[in-house]
């Protein structure tokens, strides 16, 4: 047996506190009653009250609480092999992490907004394998194609500029994606790339790589991020002041969305380009496009998770609470002393 939510078991340590509370309440009632009669006279006055029944009710209540806590911890046991049928695509996310992605024309900035939108995008997927590639002046595979969306989410949160070569090399990102698809040996009609960038490419090689992808049958959906007017690029400083990226002559560098290359890459591969405005990021529209594509049938044997058995403990708790509620503290009246009423 195992527990899916074991942290709830710590609540079992509160049971002694409940017991102390019941004892305190009993003694308080007894103390209040002593104001009307002496302690020695109380048993004679309240002849129908049964200490054993009161103790039994307390025990049932505590045991019911214990079963309820165990139910909340979700006890599980028993598992079986199950054959899972799956339909899906291979979706490779290409995320720009160049310095210009720190621009704040898309709030809070281009990169943070991209991370949030990708995270929401992953939450809507089911059955599709997903991979993640980060790029700036070079491209790096962060997560190979996988069904483990949680791992992608985890890596995604740590994406920041500065750990890859400076610049924006769209061609390197596309090339890295094609390498991954070739290694996966999946028919290209089930392979899709989603490239998110501000499009400020330094070397005009992305279109050539897009032609290679098109020949292989791979679609590349592109999402343009940023405003079309130039904006400065914030840079963090040690003392926390606001600073902006400058060129070697001390002039503030501005960045703006370059749509032309992104549009060409999408068009060449038979996909679409989407503009991520400050109010709408467009990834959900990309998902709608992808959903219309043909998906391959796949299957895999996987071990089913342990089966929840909390229902048993929940039912036991309910029964104990019901019995406790129906059980009266009063027993049969004890016989009165002989001659009491004579």
Instruction: Please tell me the distance from the alpha carbon of residue 112 to that of residue 275, in angstroms, as a whole number.
Output: 17
Residue located via tokens 């989410």: 153
Backbone φ and ψ for 255, nearest 5 degrees, come out as -130, 145
pLDDT, position 229? 84
Q: Residue 219 class from Cβ within 10 Å (0-12 exposed, 13-18 middle, 19+ buried)?
A: buried
Tell me what pLDDT residue 49 has.
60
State the pLDDT at residue 336. 46
- Cβ neighbors of 6 (< 8 A, separation 6 or more) are 73
Structure confidence at residue 250 (pLDDT): 78
Is 0.75 surpassed by the pTM of this model? no
206-215 vs 170-184: helix crossing angle, rounded to 10:
20
The tens digit of pLDDT for each residue in 75-125 reads 988 765 555 566 778 999 999 999 999 998 888 899 998 999 899 889 888
Give the position of tokens 């043909």: 294
Distance CA 313, CA 336 (A): 44
Query: How far apart (Å, rounded) are the C-alpha atoms in residues 234 and 221?
Result: 28
C-alpha 31/C-alpha 35 separation (Å) is: 7
CB–CB of 226/111 below 8 Å? no
**Distance in angstroms (rounded) separating the CA atoms of residues 95 and 102:** 13
Q: What is the mean pLDDT of residues 230-252?
A: 78
Q: What local confidence, expressed as pLDDT, does residue 335 receive?
A: 46
CA distance 258 to 103: 14
- In the numeric block, which tokens belong to residue 93? 């996310």
Looking at residue 35, what is its pLDDT?
61
DSSP 8-state class, residue 21: H
Burial class for 90, CB neighbours closer than 10 Å (0-12, 13-18, 19+): buried
Cα–Cα dist 263/260, whole Å: 5
């Amino acid at each position: 047996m195992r527990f899916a939510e074991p942290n709830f078991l710590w609540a079992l340590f509160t049971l002694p506190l409940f017991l102390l509370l019941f004892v305190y309440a009993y003694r308080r009632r007894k103390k209040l009653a002593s104001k009307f009669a002496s302690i020695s006279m109380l048993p004679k006055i309240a002849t129908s009250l049964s200490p054993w029944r009161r103790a039994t009710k307390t025990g049932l209540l505590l045991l019911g609480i214990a079963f309820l806590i165990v139910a909340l911890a979700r006890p599980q046991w028993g598992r079986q092999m199950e054959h899972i049928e799956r339909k899906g695509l291979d979706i490779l996310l290409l995320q720009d992490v160049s310095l210009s992605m720190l621009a704040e024309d898309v709030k809070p900035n281009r990169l943070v907004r991209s991370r949030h939108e990708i995270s929401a995008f992953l939450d809507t997927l089911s059955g599709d394998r997903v991979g993640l590639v980060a790029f700036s002046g070079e491209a790096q595979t962060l997560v190979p194609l996988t069904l483990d969306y949680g791992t992608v989410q985890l890596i995604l949160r740590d994406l920041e500029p500065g750990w890859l070569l400076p610049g924006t090399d769209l061609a390197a990102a596309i090339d890295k994606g094609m390498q991954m698809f070739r290694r996966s040996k999946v028919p290209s009609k089930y392979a899709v790339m989603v490239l998110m960038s501000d499009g400020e490419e330094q070397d005009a090689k992305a279109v050539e790589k897009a032609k290679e992808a098109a020949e292989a049958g791979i679609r590349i959906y592109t999402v343009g991020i940023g405003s079309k007017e130039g904006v400065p690029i914030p840079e963090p400083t040690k003392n926390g002041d606001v600073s902006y990226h400058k060129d070697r002559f001390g002039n503030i560098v501005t960045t703006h969305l370059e749509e032309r290359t992104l549009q060409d890459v999408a068009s060449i591969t038979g996909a679409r380009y989407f503009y991520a405005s400050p109010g709408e990021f467009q990834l959900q529209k990309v998902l709608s496009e992808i959903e219309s594509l043909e998906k391959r049938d796949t299957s895999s044997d996987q071990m089913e998770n342990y089966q929840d058995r909390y229902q048993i403990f929940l039912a036991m708790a309910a029964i104990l609470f019901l019995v406790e509620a129906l059980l009266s503290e009063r027993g049969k009246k004890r016989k009165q002393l002989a001659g009491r009423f004579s």
